[in-house]
């Protein structure tokens, strides 16, 4: 009987200790403002705002900065190692030119549904954006969007052509 009483008292004590009381000042997490005026707007930086050296590096075919596409494997949004020097060069350029904005367009080949390709294109664009951010580009410099299968660079129905369409394109202000 005494053991039953002790066990009951312990159970009652545990239940009382587990009860929670609401905090009077608890208002939850902050909500980000995503009103129509703040989403998707990237101010255009004209070539006049960039230095002549910067603009020349973006257009010089001998410069790594003139290369703007990252190709992906089939059904993947993992950046291949061969494209990391390209992403690092673009990240250094963005760090050196904080007034410049970049739009990353994620693309997919025509295989798969529109919904799937839009989602995959967004994951590809986000992967490039994340890499640039980890290398020092700021959040307000880089935006990622998906074009899905809507903007193919090649229209033939071959594996070589499909491979060219599985990409993320990096465009600078004034180019989009």
Length of the chain: 176
What are the pLDDT digits (tens) for 95-119? 999 999 999 999 999 999 999 999 9
CA 169/CA 107 separation, integer angstroms: 8
Q: Which CATH architecture has domain 68-176?
A: 2-Layer Sandwich (3.30)
Q: Where do the domains of the chain lie?
A: 68-176
At CA 93, angle to CA 142 and CA 84, rounded to 5?
80
pLDDT score for 86: 97
Does the predicted TM-score (pTM) go above 0.75?
A: no
For tokens 């230095």, the residue is 51
pLDDT score for 82: 97
Mean pLDDT on 77-85: 97
What are the pLDDT digits (tens) for 2-55? 666 566 655 655 555 555 555 555 555 555 454 444 333 333 334 444 555 667
Band the pLDDT of 56: cuts 50, 70, 90: confident
pLDDT score for 171: 97
């Amino acid at each position: 009987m005494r053991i039953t009483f002790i066990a009951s008292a312990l159970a009652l004590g545990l239940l009382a200790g587990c009860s929670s009381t609401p905090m009077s000042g608890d208002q939850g997490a902050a909500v980000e403002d995503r009103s129509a005026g703040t989403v998707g707007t990237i101010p255009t930086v004209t070539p006049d705002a960039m230095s002549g050296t910067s603009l020349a590096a973006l257009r010089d075919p001998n410069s790594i900065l003139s290369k703007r596409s990252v190709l992906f494997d089939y059904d993947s949004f993992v950046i291949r190692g061969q494209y990391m020097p390209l992403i690092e060069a673009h990240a250094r350029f963005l760090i050196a030119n904080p007034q410049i904005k970049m739009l990353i367009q994620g693309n997919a080949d025509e295989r798969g549904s529109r919904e799937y390709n839009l989602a995959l294109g967004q994951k590809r664009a986000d992967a490039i954006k994340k890499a640039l951010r980890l290398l020092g580009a700021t959040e307000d410099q880089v935006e990622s969007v998906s074009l899905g299968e809507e903007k193919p660079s090649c229209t033939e129905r071959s594996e070589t052509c499909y491979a060219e369409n599985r990409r993320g394109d990096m465009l600078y202000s004034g180019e989009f």
